[in-house]
Chain A
């Protein structure tokens, strides 16, 4: 199986080409089979490769496909490197990707851009596989930009709405900031180490650079910039909530399960560089902590179901960054995997809710969906439990590892740990607020529906749109979200044994970490869920909103801590002002003169063309006289 590694991205790429070249003339059935089937083939191949590699003792290997280019000493290959980390990533990408493709054949069944959707999705999977398989940073960068492009295309998938196009551009431009930083990082690494091959770099760097040396700090900080942009961490997180403009399967695949974790993958892949720069590593931890708290608070106040999930994604990736920052590499990868399971599950379940309500996304127009959409309800409940890290779900194990690792950080352990626990509390609060508001309580949608479409049958409005192709992925992801914690991530060899010490903590700490999320769930139940406390809960909410500080906090959090406004004033407005000022470009003026000179010359020459035949004849003879004169009287 291992010799077929090169085929992994080929299947989705072939699917992409087939779908693109058919130009939408293909029937939906065939397009769906090609779209989902190509990713399914990749998954089977990935599974075979994983089994073969693990039977081989997890030995890492490199597959060289061809030499990409050669410029002097710089000779990046088109070659793939497979080790434990890669295996986890390709299994998650192709596995979760396949389930989401399958789900999307049902979800997108009525969309006119069906084939286009699957072509983009396939291209995305191909690019993502290239990203994680690449054995050098240049090839990784190719995949990195490829997924960025697909993300842009898919956010703006419903391009006839200007807001979607705006969201797509915003995502593209904001991630470009990070990508530029990463590109500069690559230049620096190449100029210093003379290679972009990741494994060579990781062995060369510790030999050449002292711990904490300036070069190491600069290189890892620049790489961190790229990771922050792609993974939507502070301060480049503003694009992800708007990215929810795309179809829900996109949000599940790209903006929750796979692409946004590329930054985590990048840092884990180049972890040696970050170990050489402890200050940057600490910065990673604090970025993660700040992001997870900030987006946790924001998620509390949002009302759009997909935006809540988007902010929870940002916050969970914050946890991964926290883990990376404290050196718990395998815990970060473990959380990456479990997060892919439960967040994909949450998004897909949310997708069925949205589809059932005819693209209604406001949670306060839902309610009591528990009985109407039982499958979505149970899936959502399982996903939320895993997100909240309730005991025995997959999220519990991964988050537990992260928090324990954070506690053992040398200087700031207590601070990081308590921040993480506060984040866990917030997670419980907002995710079960979502569950209780959407699936319990009064059915607000029905009254709303009756009010707006009086003659429509309100009962027919809410029917669970659940075909088998949508049910099966939900079921499987539900099982994985529950039991995924028992999968052992085979990354010990990648990160060395030293980083993976068994974390010990007191009984009290363990109990606290179990109880705090449960407390969050209880409070959410008290405020939003239970019928008996409903009055009190509503009263409490009104009280909070009525008080000045509460209202201001709400507005502040709702706007995502004012980051969008800040960027609007700091970057967008000045840029637009400059652009308006420089509308008559100084450089353009020079070319304007060229055009002006051509115009003047033209009008001068036009005067020569009189249309008078004798004038032409005289000019002709004059020329003849001159030429003959040159010959005769030299």
Chain B
């Protein structure tokens, strides 16, 4: 499991970095799917198979397919790729890089103070369902409302 966790983490990191420095949209999308799938493996390693399934089906499946469809509609060709390459100036990365570095430093410095190891205990679908349709029922309703609102908004916005 440990090996699984670290190897999947490494893949996720590399894939993500590839996304943000890639110039081709479709390539970036494929890297993103790889990143999401490796996160799903991490979930599995952490004893959350339900979350892993959702990550693979909803994120890597549905949402990314949505992206893919839009890419196809936009039909961005070679011209866009050249443009992307032109925008990739190193000077552009200095400010955001410094800020992101500081932020990462802040995160890590708060996390390195404790030393508790994880003993992954599998959380079954049943437990989550009992929680979801018990104490978190209202949150489920709100989520459904949010999805409905997103549906209507997307329909309205994408209309001619």
Whether A629 and B102, one on each chain, are in contact in the complex, defined by CB atoms closer than 8 angstroms, is yes
Bits for A592-634, please: 1 = Cβ < 8 Å to B, else 0.
0000000000000000000000000010011011001100110
Number of A-B contacts (CB under 8 A): 22
Contact B99 A629 (CB under 8 A): no
Chain B residues lying within 8 Å of A622, measured Cβ to Cβ, are 99
**B78: interface (CB < 8 Å):** no
- Flag if B96 contacts A624 (CB, 8 Å): no
Residues B103 and A618 in contact, CB atoms below 8 Å apart: no
Chain B CB within 10 Å — which of A622, A624, A625, A632 has the most? A625
CB-CB contacts below 8 Å: B83-141 with A: 95-96, 99-100, 102-103, 106, 109-110
Contact B103 A625 (CB under 8 A): yes
CB-defined contacts of B103 to chain A, threshold 8 Å: 621, 624-625, 628
In the assembled complex, the Cα of A264 lies from the Cα of B102 at a distance in Å of 89
| Contacting residues, chain A, for B100 (C-beta < 8 A) | 621
Q: Which residues of A contact B110 (CB under 8 A)?
A: 632
Majority secondary structure, B binding face: helix
Alpha-carbon gap, A629 to B104, bound state (A): 11
Q: Count chain B residues whose beta carbon lies closer than 8 angstroms to a beta carbon of A.
A: 9
Which residues of A have CB within 8 Å of B109? 632-633
A526 to B109, CA, bound (A): 120
- The docked-state distance in angstroms from the alpha carbon of A517 to that of B100 is 110
B106/A618 in contact, CB under 8 A? no
Cα–Cα distance between A628 and B99 once the two chains are bound (Å): 12
Closest to A622 in B: B99
- Which B residues touch A632, using CB under 8 A? 106, 109-110
A622 to B103, CA, bound (A): 9
In the complex, what distance in Å separates the CA atom of A326 from the CA atom of B116?
111
Q: Is there contact, CB below 8 Å, between B102 and A618?
A: no
Task: Give complex CA distance A105, B64 in Å.
Answer: 89
Contacts of B102 in A (CB 8 A): 625, 629
B-side contacts of A633, CB under 8 Å: 106, 109
Distance from B92 Cβ to chain A, minimum over Cβ atoms (Å): 9
Q: For residue B99, which residue of chain A has the nearest CB?
A: A621
Evaluate contact between A628 and B95: CB separation under 8 angstroms: no
B99 to chain A, nearest CB (A): 5
Which A residues touch B99, using CB under 8 A? Answer: 618, 621-622, 625
Closest Cβ of chain B to A432, distance in Å, is 93
User: Residues of A contacting B96 with CB < 8 Å?
Assistant: 618, 621
Interface residues of A in 219-249 (CB under 8 A from B): none
CB distance from B102 to the nearest CB of A (A): 5
A625 to B97, CA, bound (A): 13
Q: In the complex, what distance in Å separates the CA atom of A98 from the CA atom of B102?
A: 91
Complex Cα distance, B102 from A625, in Å, reads 7
Name the A residues within 8 Å of B95 (CB-CB).
618
Complex alpha-carbon distance, A374 and B145, angstroms: 93
Nearest-neighbor residue (CB-CB) of A617 within chain B: B96
Q: Which 6 A-B pairs have the closest CB atoms?
A: A632-B106, A628-B106, A621-B99, A625-B102, A625-B103, A632-B110
Footprint of A on B, CB under 8 Å? Answer: 95-96, 99-100, 102-103, 106, 109-110
Residue numbers of A with Cβ under 8 A of B are: 618, 621-622, 624-625, 628-629, 632-633
Q: Other than the known A618-B96, A621-B96, A628-B103, what 10 A-B pairs have Cβ atoms closer than 8 Å?
A: A618-B99, A621-B99, A624-B103, A625-B102, A625-B103, A629-B106, A632-B109, A632-B110, A633-B106, A633-B109
Offer 13 A-B interface pairs, CB within 8 angstroms, sorted by A: A618-B95, A621-B96, A621-B99, A621-B103, A622-B99, A624-B103, A625-B99, A625-B102, A625-B106, A628-B106, A629-B102, A632-B106, A632-B110
